[in-house]
A and B are shown apart, each in its own frame.
Chain A
């Protein structure tokens, strides 16, 4: 079955540490996205990538970094510069960039800073 996988499901980080969240898709989708979800709020876009080796900042990119070396993979690094990283992180993908497409979401990673 095709889909999006995110790992780990739960992640704990000490203050001052960088952590990387994994996102893999086998849907052959071109575009991938990272969102942050906080309690009682909608999703906010962190970064997105339309094609391999290219990505753009979303609305809240500060303190985060990404890479897109392969079509299937779009890892997100939460750096120590992110002041309030505790949140639920969701990865999504769409078939093609630059078109209106349904976004498909992974199951999410819950990050807690201790």
Chain B
């Protein structure tokens, strides 16, 4: 079966750095996605990791360790507009993306 775990909520202040963790258990792992979703809107793509290591894209970075079934999304220089839900999703061979329940990040001034 598929199991994806991420914290339900996190809080941080403007300008800070926050790390959102995701652990997963799967068979036939074929990559891991992070999506951002603002309230009432559709998820938008942030990052995709298929190999171990760190992928950096501006203020956002994503890390993957396949042997540990672990990923994190790192957000630097936080801004108020980063307040959103962050969804970890696993691509399992032969199936559609399976999403975690999401982590709601609240950024305060």
- A-B interaction: no
Q: B: which residues have CB within 8 A of A?
A: none
